[in-house]
């Protein structure tokens, strides 16, 4: 049975490390800059809608989408590292 206990202990450690309180910001990641990019994307999107310029709308959507991806708290988690996956 020790093998079973070790596996449970490993799962418990991974769950603890995945908790948002224990997660730090990645090295070099500055959330304030990301918020500025998100604001710039939204401003570009709104300006494109008001002006009626499709290229500005598309650029605003792309920039806002990229900033949204950077704000994702789980973006640095490798694929397949969810609890219960092998």
For every one of its 86 residues, what pLDDT tens digit does the chain have, with 9 covering 90 and above?
A: 456 677 777 777 777 776 665 555 555 556 788 899 999 999 999 999 999 999 999 999 999 999 888 887 776 666 666 565 55
* Helix, strand, coil in percent for the chain, rounding step 5: 65, 0, 35
Whole-angstrom Cα Rg for the chain? 20
Check if the beta carbon of residue 38 is closer than 8 Å to that of residue 71: yes
Q: Are 55 and 44 in contact (CB under 8 A)?
A: no
pLDDT at 23: 54
Question: What predicted TM-score, i.e. pTM, was given to this entire model?
Answer: 0.53
Specify the pLDDT at position 40: 93
């Amino acid at each position: 049975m020790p093998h079973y206990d070790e596996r449970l202990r490993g799962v418990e450690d991974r769950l603890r490390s995945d908790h948002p309180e224990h997660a730090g910001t990645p090295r070099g990641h500055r959330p304030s800059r990301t918020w500025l990019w998100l604001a710039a994307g939204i401003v570009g999107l709104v300006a494109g809608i008001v002006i009626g310029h499709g290229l500005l709308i598309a650029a605003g959507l792309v920039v806002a989408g990229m900033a949204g991806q950077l704000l994702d708290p789980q973006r640095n988690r490798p694929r397949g590292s969810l609890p219960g996956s092998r």
